[in-house]
């Protein structure tokens, strides 16, 4: 990795720290949404925390965009695995949720896998081509599933009360949130730093669509279950879904060790989910 790649790596890490901190702060202050009681001191603190989290989530797009000028989108999606690490540790100190010794081991495994993926990446931005059909379908699948859930809920066929629904919504939100990176990468490839030209690209509107719907899905999920329950599925899909989509959209060559490391990241996230949700914890 050269200096620019290392800088881009640092920008991607900063992006996902902002995202994790933003989500945790929103979870901390989520009770102000739909609040029915008197607007006391606690209400205003929670509302302030929620909006600080919202600001951080929007600021994260800056280092994210800068990192995509050097790194491929599937590499940035791999780095997003740090989200689960940041979230668990931030949840410990901000939400007072439990931290286990195995969390340190899993965190080390994920960081090592991410480093290997970055080290083995040899694909330049100039070599990337965009397969439009896959780019559209990648967004249509999670967006369509979320809209179906919203329609079924609105006509009271289902009610958002179970942790399973919360995990489903978090997974759909994670898929859409991860695609934001892919669509930003496409915009960067097609238009470079000519930001104003983005308004003529359909990918800008796909970006805003998945950004908006993912935020809605997350807020509903956070209302239904603890952060430690929905966070792992959210972050696992932020890695898995856009990574698979990126391979189809950009048709990039993949080193077998990279495939192993991507799988290792997702499996490790799964172990962290079990660790924090098993009855024996």
Q: Model's pTM, two decimal places?
A: 0.73
User: Interhelix angle for 132-154 vs 163-191, to 10°?
Assistant: 150
8 A C-beta contact, residue 166 and residue 225: yes
pLDDT at residue 125, as a whole number: 55
Rounded to whole angstroms, the Cα distance separating 98 from 102 reads 12
Selection from 170, 116, 113, 179 nearest residue 146 by Cα? 170
Per-residue pLDDT tens digits for 215-258 = 899 888 888 877 667 777 787 788 788 888 888 898 777 778 88
pLDDT at residue 233, as a whole number: 78
Rounded to whole angstroms, the Cα distance separating 208 from 265 reads 27
Per-residue pLDDT tens digits for 72-130 = 777 787 787 787 788 878 888 888 877 788 888 888 888 788 778 777 765 555 556 78
The mean pLDDT value for 45-61 works out to 90
Range with the poorest average pLDDT among 41-45, 198-202, 209-213: 41-45
pLDDT at residue 205, as a whole number: 95
Residue 281 token pair: 């914890």
Higher pLDDT, 207 or 106: 207
pLDDT at residue 235, as a whole number: 75
Rounded to whole angstroms, the Cα distance separating 108 from 101 reads 12
Higher pLDDT, 172 or 232: 172
Question: What's the chain's average pLDDT?
Answer: 83
The mean pLDDT value for 131-139 works out to 93
End-to-end Cα separation, the chain, in angstroms: 40
Rounded to whole angstroms, the Cα distance separating 207 from 215 reads 12
Residue 172 has, within 13 A of its CA and on its CB side, a CA count of: 26
């Amino acid at each position: 990795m050269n200096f620019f790649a290392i800088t881009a790596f640092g920008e991607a890490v900063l992006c996902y720290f902002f995202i994790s901190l933003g989500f945790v702060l929103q979870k901390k202050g989520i009770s102000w949404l739909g609040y029915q009681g008197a607007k006391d001191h606690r209400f205003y603190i929670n509302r302030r925390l929620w909006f600080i989290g919202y600001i951080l989530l929007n600021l994260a797009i800056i280092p994210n965009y800068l990192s995509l000028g050097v790194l491929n989108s599937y590499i940035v999606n791999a780095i997003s695995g740090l989200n689960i690490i940041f979230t668990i540790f931030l949840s410990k100190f901000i939400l007072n949720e439990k931290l286990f010794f195995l969390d340190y081991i899993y965190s080390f495994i994920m960081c090592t896998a991410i480093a290997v993926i970055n080290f083995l990446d040899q694909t330049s931005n100039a070599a990337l081509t965009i397969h439009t059909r896959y780019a559209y379908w990648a967004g249509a699948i999670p967006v369509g599933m979320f809209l179906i859930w919203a329609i079924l809920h609105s006509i009271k066929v289902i009610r958002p009360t179970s942790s399973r629904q919360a995990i489903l919504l978090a997974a759909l939100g994670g898929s859409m949130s991860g695609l934001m990176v892919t669509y930003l990468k496409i915009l960067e490839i097609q238009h470079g730093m000519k930001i104003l030209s983005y308004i003529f690209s359909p990918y800008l509107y796909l970006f805003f669509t998945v950004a908006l719907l993912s935020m809605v899905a997350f807020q509903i999920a956070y209302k239904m279950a603890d952060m430690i329950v929905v966070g792992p599925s959210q972050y696992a899909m932020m890695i898995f879904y856009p990574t698979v989509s990126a391979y189809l959209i950009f048709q990039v060559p993949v080193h077998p060790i990279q495939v192993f490391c991507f799988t290792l990241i997702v499996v490790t996230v799964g172990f962290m989910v079990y660790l924090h949700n098993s009855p024996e914890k």
